[in-house]
């Protein structure tokens, strides 16, 4: 994960390091955004500007592999992003303020759409791209609206662009995944009631985590807390934290994380308050959880995503969790967000849970 972030940072530096005026689509510099409208669009939605003939071919297939890759760990297949594909002549004032924009430019092509996209680069930039096949993308923000993220991917020809998209798709995906999570985290609002809950949690467990308005405290113990939102209509959102003394590196083995989760679920997470024999377990029969090693708050962390259910099959959903050790307290922390929303999409709900988890800190 550190490598991915380092690559993203490096690419951003490359994009911002050219001479002023080298690129028409964003120069990466800070600008006054007070006069701009707010970015529009749904979370996870990306507008792609491309020659549609090329989108119907091999280049389009590569773009779909990047943006429509199935999100791992969800209870049913969902693409990583929702994409809207337009040609340059369709790029009107509605699309200009989209939250996420992607320009796809190959310097191979003579159509009006190709010429328009190629025209967003200066001659000096074109020369650098033709001579350096590794120069592949640049990022900018807030060009047409506040909170907007813009990505340009480019190459001297289609084959080179396809190659880079396939090899560096994680870099592109992370740019927008990080942007969406940061947007969500910035919009989390705490109410007087949720701040009161957090004070209780902090006093008991010595931790801080944003608890959105509308969440209520379900359980608070010396090693565990569970808060949840139970609206009359819509998804149920849940957040819990468990900690224990750290004993061994074996606790990071994937099978042991599942075992720990199941132990916590059986002890604390009930499926039905009226039925104490109903509790949460991890789904492993029909689909396995997906694991990834990441850097979270400068700590080695195992991320797990997957499906959960109650032992009596009364209810289920999707979850995402982080397992890590706080070196100061020498405690292992397992923090998780899980949702209940039968027969509905979970992609953005889990992205929201991820944003909440990233606010976690040990006091």
Residue partners of 323: CB distance under 8 A and separation at least 6: 251, 252, 257, 260, 301, 302, 304, 332, 333, 334
The pTM of the full predicted model, rounded to 2 decimals, is: 0.86
In this model, does residue 277 exceed pLDDT 60? yes
pLDDT classification of 2: cutoffs 50, 70, 90 = very low
pLDDT digit string (tens) for 128-183? 999 998 899 999 999 999 999 999 999 999 999 999 999 999 999 999 999 999 99
pLDDT digit string (tens) for 302-317? 999 999 999 987 889 9
163 with 265, same domain: the answer is no
Contact 302, 324 (CB under 8 A): yes
pLDDT digit string (tens) for 60-94? 999 999 999 999 999 999 999 999 999 999 999 99
Whole-number Cα distances in Å, 76 to 83, 103, 271, 339, 344:
19, 30, 21, 14, 9
What is the model's pLDDT at position 248? 96
The residue segments making up the domain with residue 248 are 189-362
121 with 208, same domain: the answer is no
Burial class of residue 43 (count of CB atoms within 10 Å of its CB; 0-12, 13-18, 19+)? middle
Looking at 142, 157, 186, the residue that finishes a domain is 186
Domain CATH number, residue 66? 3.40.50
Please tell me which residue, 13 or 191, carries the higher pLDDT value: 191
Is the Cα dihedral 20, 25, 26, 31 positive or negative? Answer: positive
pLDDT classification of 46: cutoffs 50, 70, 90 = very high
pLDDT digit string (tens) for 234-271? 999 999 999 999 999 999 999 999 999 999 999 999 86
153 with 34, same domain: the answer is yes
182 with 73, same domain: the answer is yes
- Residue 14, SS3? helix
pLDDT digit string (tens) for 288-307? 999 999 999 999 999 999 99
297 with 152, same domain: the answer is no
Least confident interval from 21-25, 51-55, 352-356: 21-25
pLDDT classification of 103: cutoffs 50, 70, 90 = very high
What is the model's pLDDT at position 271? 67
pLDDT classification of 10: cutoffs 50, 70, 90 = very low
What is the model's pLDDT at position 24? 39
Q: Which of 224, 261, 269, 219 minimizes the C-alpha distance to 244?
A: 224
Q: How many domains does the chain have?
A: 2
What is the average pLDDT across 319-333?
Answer: 96
CA–CA separation, 194 and 80 (whole Å): 31
101 with 224, same domain: the answer is no
193 with 178, same domain: the answer is no
What is the model's pLDDT at position 312? 86
33 with 132, same domain: the answer is yes
Domain CATH number, residue 259? 3.40.1000.10
DSSP alpha helix (H) spans, the chain: 2-16, 52-55, 58-67, 93-96, 112-118, 123-131, 158-167, 169-187, 192-205, 254-268, 347-357
What is the model's pLDDT at position 315? 86
């Amino acid at each position: 994960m550190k490598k991915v972030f380092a690559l993203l940072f490096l690419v951003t530096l490359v994009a911002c390091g050219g001479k002023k005026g080298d690129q028409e689509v964003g120069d990466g510099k800070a600008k006054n955004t007070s006069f701009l409208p707010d970015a529009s669009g749904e979370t996870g939605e990306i507008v792609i500007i491309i020659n549609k003939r090329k989108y119907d071919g091999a280049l389009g297939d590569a773009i779909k592999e990047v943006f429509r890759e199935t999100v791992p760990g969800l209870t049913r297949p969902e693409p990583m992003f929702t994409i809207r594909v337009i040609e340059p002549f369709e790029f009107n004032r509605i699309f200009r303020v989209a939250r996420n924009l992607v320009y796809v430019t190959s310097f191979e092509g003579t159509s009006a759409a190709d010429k328009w996209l190629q025209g967003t680069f200066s001659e000096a930039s074109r020369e650098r791209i033709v001579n350096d096949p590794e120069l592949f993308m640049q990022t900018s923000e807030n060009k047409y609206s506040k909170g907007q993220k813009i990505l340009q991917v480019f190459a001297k020809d289609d084959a080179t662009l396809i190659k880079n998209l396939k090899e560096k798709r994680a870099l592109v995906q992370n740019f927008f995944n990080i942007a969406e999570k940061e947007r969500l985290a910035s919009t989390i609002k705490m109410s007087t009631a949720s701040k009161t809950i957090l004070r209780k949690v902090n006093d008991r467990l010595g931790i801080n985590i944003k608890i959105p308005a509308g969440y209520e405290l379900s359980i608070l113990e010396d090693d565990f807390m569970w808060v949840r939102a139970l609206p009359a209509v819509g998804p149920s959102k849940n957040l819990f934290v468990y900690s224990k003394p750290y004993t061994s590196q074996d606790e990071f083995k994937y099978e042991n994380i599942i075992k720990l989760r199941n132990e916590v679920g059986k002890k604390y997470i009930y499926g039905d308050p009226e039925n104490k024999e109903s509790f949460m377990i991890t789904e492993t029969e029909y689909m396995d959880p997906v694991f990834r090693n990441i850097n979270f708050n400068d700590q080695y962390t195992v991320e797990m995503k997957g499906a959960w259910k109650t032992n009596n099959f009364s209810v289920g959903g999707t979850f995402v969790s982080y397992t890590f050790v706080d070196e100061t307290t020498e405690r292992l922390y397992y923090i998780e967000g899980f949702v209940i929303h039968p027969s509905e999409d979970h992609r953005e709900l889990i992205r929201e849970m991820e944003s909440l988890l990233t606010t976690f800190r040990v006091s």
